Structure formats: structure tokens, C-alpha cells
């Protein structure tokens, strides 16, 4: 595994069997993630985007060993350990829990109303056995609270006394108190007002640079991803269809799906003639995906080969990959 790669997924698939089906036939299966290859570099702010139901959250949880991996591998490698997540034992998994954390989407539902902020932030330290005395725990809590712009008075209060942005800072502090290397932020600003989103995003970026963290930032909002991420992957129906450095992806998208997503970003210029591209039809069912390219049922450029053969990710430049049969023809 390359020294600069923290998370490396190969042919990663996550399937969920459903009840029902015929008496003798196979049971239906939801293919939430299918055949994903992904490299997340150490110290990067990696964005994962796509419509709701595309498999983003499931992929993030699989990278945390919090979703069942049906096929493929996920490797985690930092300066101290090297884990293959499909074969870790209980002790290795316990250690991995200290090194990887999740920031939830809803700050209102993620915090216990019966615990003070101090106890909420301290809980991972106590559960994981990372501190041996209350004084040591309090010192760690105060340290991470200060990084997340929370003062001593805040630590004595209960979650109901805080705004949405403040609650999300508490959630961030709880996720970072164990000093992880890898953090999955799953729609972590989606429930916040736009003005508060910028404050939380800037905080995440500051903490990432200060602590040397690696983020997998899951979002459906491309404008948010453009603000904080240095690399972006686009998902559709459980597959990666394009991945590139953020600036390159926004300046020169290759896949028709990525182009449609980018066209939907509202412009601040009233004279901008850009018109959002409307995608016809519904996202196909993950229990019965179409043959060939999974986007072909909604793609305005689909031809016969798109309906027969599923395209693989291929390089359009050194760091830009796209899964489309016609990407070269469709370049502007």
C-alpha cells in the first residue's frame, strides 16, 4: 500500500438482502455499493457527492467497518498500523475505532439530552479506556473543546441550550477527542442554516490542518464540496462514475451525470445564461439495476454500447478518472 494513502478500497461492494421473493428463486438484494475502487490520501479532504440513494453513506460506513462488506477489501494504513478491515480481529477493530470516527448529520438527534456537554465529549475516552483518571479526561475534553470554540461554561450545560451550529461543534468535539486519523463527515452541515454552514466548514478545515486529519466529506451539495474539498468522487447507484481534484472536476467535468449536477448549482451572477440540465426519469432501483451503464436510463447521450456494457473508470488525465464510453466525444 502506498505510503501516502490512508484508505484504499478495491472492488468494494455492500449488499443488503431483502425479505420476500419467490419460494425457490433468489431473494432480492439491494446493491448499495458495487465494485468501488477508492484511494483517500493522508491529510486530504476528500469529497463524496451524488443524489440521495446513491450509496454515499453506505460507502462511508464501510470505510469505518460499520457496514457489512459483501465483497472486496478496505485497507487502512497510518504510521503505526496497517489493517485490512474485512479480516481484523476484535482487538484490532477496537483499536481502529480509536483511529476512525464519524460526525453525524443531525446535531439535534446525535446528542443525549440527559448528558452535559462535558460528559458527551468525555464518553468516547471512557468507553475506549483512553484516559485513566478524571483529571486526565477533563484535560482532554477542555483541549478539544477549545479547538472547537467551546468554553468552560459550555461544558456545564445540556444540549438543549445550544443552537444547531453549536450542537454540531459539540458533535465534532466528541468525534475528535479520541485523536483519530480518519473522520467521516456524513452530511455534517446539511441540517444547518447557510450562514452557520460556512462557520462549521471553516472550523473543520482549520482542525484538519491543525491535527493532520484525513476527512471523507459526504454531501449532496456541490457548492459546499467546492469550498472545502481538495479531491471529489461522484457516485451514482452505488458506483463511482468520476473522480478528480476538485478544481479540475469543476472546471472540466467528463461524465454526463457530473455535468448535470454541476449545472444545478445556482449562480450569483444574474446575467449568467447557464441553464440547469434536467435529468429525466427516476433513479433505477438498486435491487434491479439496468444493464450496461447504470446512468443510461437517464442519460441524454446514451447509445447502444451504453445499454450493453458497463464502463470502467479510466484515466482522462493523471488524477482524473471517468466511467463513460463517450466522454472523449462529449468533451466541450
DSSP summary character for residue 266: P
Given a cut of 70, is residue 2 above it in pLDDT?
no
Mean pLDDT of the chain: 90
Relative to beta strand 45-49, strand 231-236 is parallel
CA 103 – CA 186 distance, rounded (Å): 6
Residue scoring higher pLDDT (139 or 268): 139
CA 246 – CA 44 distance, rounded (Å): 12
Cell of 289: 439495476
Residue among 136, 69, 75 nearest 100 (CA):
75
DSSP 137-192: HHHHHHHHHHHTT--HHHHTS-GGGS-HHHHHHHHHHHHHTT--SEEEEESTTTTS
pLDDT for the residue numbered 283: 80
pLDDT digits (tens, 9 = 90+) for 304-325: 999 999 999 999 888 999 999 9
Cell of 320: 482524473
What is the Cα 266 distance to its own chain's centre?
Answer: 23
pLDDT for the residue numbered 267: 65
Instruction: Give the Å distances, CA to CA, from 22 to 18, 27, 101, 169.
Output: 12, 7, 40, 49
CA 300 – CA 303 distance, rounded (Å): 9
pLDDT for the residue numbered 1: 47
pLDDT digits (tens, 9 = 90+) for 220-267: 888 889 989 999 999 999 999 999 999 999 999 999 999 999 988 776
CA 78 – CA 96 distance, rounded (Å): 11
pLDDT for the residue numbered 188: 86
- State percent of the chain over pLDDT 90: 72
Using DSSP's 3-state secondary structure scheme, residue 54 falls into coil
CA 153 – CA 193 distance, rounded (Å): 24
Amino acid at each position: 500500500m502506498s505510503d501516502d494513502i490512508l484508505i484504499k478500497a478495491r472492488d468494494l461492494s455492500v449488499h443488503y438482502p431483502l425479505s420476500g421473493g419467490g419460494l425457490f428463486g433468489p431473494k432480492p438484494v439491494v446493491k448499495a455499493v458495487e465494485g468501488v475502487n477508492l484511494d483517500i490520501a493522508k491529510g486530504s479532504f476528500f469529497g463524496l457527492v451524488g443524489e440521495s440513494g446513491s450509496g454515499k453513506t453506505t460507502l462511508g460506513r464501510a470505510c469505518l467497518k460499520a457496514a457489512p462488506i459483501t465483497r472486496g477489501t478496505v485497507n487502512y494504513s497510518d504510521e503505526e498500523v496497517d489493517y485490512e478491515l474485512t479480516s481484523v480481529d476484535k482487538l484490532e477493530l477496537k483499536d481502529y475505532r480509536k483511529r476512525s470516527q464519524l460526525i453525524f448529520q443531525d446535531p439535534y438527534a446525535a446528542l443525549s439530552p440527559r448528558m452535559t456537554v462535558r460528559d458527551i465529549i468525555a464518553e468516547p475516552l471512557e468507553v475506549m479506556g483512553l484516559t485513566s483518571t478524571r483529571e486526565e479526561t477533563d484535560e482532554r475534553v477542555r483541549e478539544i473543546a477549545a479547538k472547537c470554540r467551546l468554553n468552560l461554561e459550555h461544558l456545564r450545560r445540556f444540549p438543549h441550550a445550544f443552537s444547531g451550529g453549536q450542537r454540531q461543534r459539540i458533535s465534532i468535539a466528541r468525534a475528535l477527542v479520541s485523536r483519530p486519523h480518519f473522520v467521516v463527515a456524513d452530511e455534517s452541515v446539511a441540517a444547518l442554516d447557510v450562514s452557520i454552514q460556512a462557520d462549521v466548514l471553516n472550523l473543520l478545515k482549520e482542525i484538519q490542518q491543525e491535527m493532520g486529519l484525513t476527512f471523507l466529506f459526504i454531501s449532496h451539495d456541490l457548492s459546499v464540496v467546492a469550498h472545502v474539498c481538495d479531491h471529489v468522487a461522484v457516485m451514482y447507484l452505488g458506483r463511482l462514475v468520476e473522480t478528480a481534484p476538485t478544481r479540475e472536476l469543476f472546471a472540466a467535468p467528463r461524465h454526463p451525470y457530473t455535468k448535470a449536477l454541476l449545472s444545478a448549482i445556482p449562480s450569483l451572477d444574474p446575467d449568467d445564461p447557464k441553464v440547469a440540465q434536467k435529468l429525466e426519469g427516476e433513479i433505477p432501483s438498486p435491487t434491479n439495476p439496468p444493464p450496461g451503464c447504470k446512468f443510461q436510463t437517464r442519460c441524454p447521450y446514451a447509445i447502444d454500447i451504453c445499454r450493453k456494457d458497463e464502463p470502467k473508470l479510466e484515466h482522462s488525465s493523471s488524477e482524473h478518472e471517468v466511467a463513460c464510453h463517450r466522454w472523449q466525444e462529449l468533451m466541450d
